[in-house]
Chain A
Amino acid sequence: MVYSVMIYDALIAPFTEFEFMRRALAAVVALALGGAPIGVFLMLRRMSLVGDAMAHAILPGAAIGFLLSGLNLFAMTTGGLIAGFTVAILAGVVARTTELKEDASLATFYLASLALGVTIVSIKGTNIDLLHVLFGNILAMDDQTLLVITFNATITLIVLAVIYRPLVIESVDPVFLRTVSRAGAPAHLAFLALVVINLVNGFQALGTLLAVGLMILPAGIARFWSRDITGMICIAVISAIVSGYAGLVLSFQTKVPSGPAIILVAALLYVGSVLFGSVSGLFRQMFPGRHLEA
């Protein structure tokens, strides 16, 4: 009995007692549903670092939004979205039409975009850290932000369902897809758009660390537990939700800030998966026979 009370206090009471914890949990779940599948595809396409690049690429858009309408979150987010789209799509087009690989062309465009952003900010002569203003906190979910995140998750899942086939085939065998269909390029661009939407809104609601972290780390975890994409996506979503929940509880019981807490939990899961994962985990590689016998 005593134990069950303790467990209740530790794991459930924070959420029944405080609304901000319930909202944070809802946000994490929505983010996991939209972001984790995107993360899996990013990983399969070797674009795992796109998120960090994108965090910088949105600066000029946010800055122009700021110039036009001051510290208005909506204008700055819209600007950020437009800048993100531009960079992602230009990089995508260059990668598709020239010899330059996706990562290199993205790096070029995001650096140019960042430089442009810094320039625009300093022309205005202010030193407000725009990205600091733009990046939110998971503990401060208002209705509007929560609605935007869930809306994005819904859109993401629907669009992913539509472009799923070409996207999967292209992730595995792009040459084959090119011989049988022309859906590759449009699917890729739609996918890039999804990446940008999820990231920018993630930044705006949750901060960079969480937005990128909850996208990429679960994908890394899933890689060690499943060989097929559907399985990977399911595992990624589940581990993102688990990390989100456990991270919030950790942040509530200790004094670790919430964003880092969630990502640290995900990182622990990742380390565990690297060691014990059923697909190419280290222990699995060291003792291949024993597992098969069991």
Chain B
Amino acid sequence: MRRFQLWLIFLLLVTSAAPARAQDRLNVVASFSILGDFVRNVGGERVSVTTLVGPDGDVHVYTPAPADAKKIADAKLVVINGLGLEGWLPRLVQSSGGKATMVTASQGITPLKIGSDADPHAWQSVANARIYVADIRDALVAADPAGAEAYRANAERYLAKLDALDREVREAVAQIPQARRKVISTHDAFGYFASAYGIEFIAPQGVSTESEVSARDIARIITEVRAAKIPAVFLENISDDRLMRRISTETGARVGGTLFSDSLTGEKGDAPTYIDMVRHNIKALTSALTN
């Protein structure tokens, strides 16, 4: 026990005495790739962004590594989604011993409920993404007043792009016949998208990727798909797709490609940025549902 305490003190000394990184750029840590993309767009040249859960990672079941604690210790700002998404993060921030300010990017969003819990996937509605961006802008301005002008201008430009994106999504959805606006997806990640744009999503798994399905859930979905003649099932970029294929073969619904929900892809993937991700999703939806 004594020795353990000594080690602890030693570790604390080492981490606190580590030289701070060159401060010419503002160090910001974002909890996962989508937030990282927002921060990059608002911060531009003035910030250097690191994301804890990188492209294609699952933010629900992430286990942090020591390197993550180090990133946080070096950061001025830690941007998180909140709404219960990063359950693992508060302890990490505490244990990293840094002085970073925590920013909850979903501040100001009215959360949807799944059962009694808030649904964390608020970024799936572009209107909410605007709130994220505004929150991030304010946090950056507060942390680095010298760059306020630049942050405001960047945010302005990015928000205009998001407005255009929002219109694009609405126009695309308008092309789908009313009766065909429903799909099956691997986990309930599209609640905000559904309520913002009027496409119904039915999911075999609960809100988190951790829970396991029962035979009853699958049977309910198959019955529902057959009864309501749901045209397509969608796969996600992180969950096991065999379940969706099974439902698809059993009901005759088409497998509609991949929808990205919780993470962006790498540079070479289909959805390296948030805007690309939303475009990809809406394209996949319209092509599966229109004809």
Q: Which residues of A does B touch, CB under 8 Å?
A: 14, 17-21, 23-24, 122, 125-129, 132-133, 136-137, 139-142, 145, 248, 251-261
Contact = CB atoms under 8 A, between A and B. Distances in A.
Nearest to B63: A127
Nearest to B211: A257
A127 B214 contact: no
Contacts of B56: 126, 128
Contact of A142 (B58, B65, B222, B245): B245
A128 B238 contact: yes
B3 interface: no
B142 interface: no
B215 A137 contact: no
Given A251-B214, A259-B212, 11 more contacts: A19-B249, A20-B215, A20-B222, A127-B62, A140-B240, A140-B242, A251-B216, A255-B216, A257-B211, A258-B214, A261-B214
26 contacts: A17-B219, A18-B250, A19-B249, A20-B215, A20-B250, A21-B219, A127-B53, A128-B56, A128-B57, A129-B61, A137-B213, A137-B243, A140-B245, A141-B246, A142-B245, A248-B215, A251-B215, A251-B216, A252-B216, A255-B214, A255-B217, A256-B214, A257-B211, A257-B212, A258-B212, A260-B212
A243 to B, nearest CB: 15
Interface in B49-101: 53-54, 56-58, 61-63, 65
B218 interface: yes
A194 to B, nearest CB: 25
Which 3 A/B pairs are nearest by Cβ-Cβ distance?
A: A257-B212, A140-B242, A140-B243
- In which size bucket is the chain B interface? 20 to 34
A24 B213 CA distance: 13
Which secondary structure dominates chain A's binding surface?
helix
A19 B222 CA distance: 10
Nearest to A145: B242
B61 A142 contact: no
Nearest to B65: A122
Contacts of B238: 128
Interface string B212-230: 1111111100100000000
A23 B61 CA distance: 30
B63 A142 contact: no
A251 B219 CA distance: 10
A137 B212 contact: yes
Given A140-B240, A140-B242, A142-B245, A257 B213 contact: yes
A141 B246 CA distance: 7
Contact of A20 (B58, B63, B211, B218): B218
Contacts of A128: 56-58, 238
B197 to A, nearest CB: 29
B246 A139 contact: yes
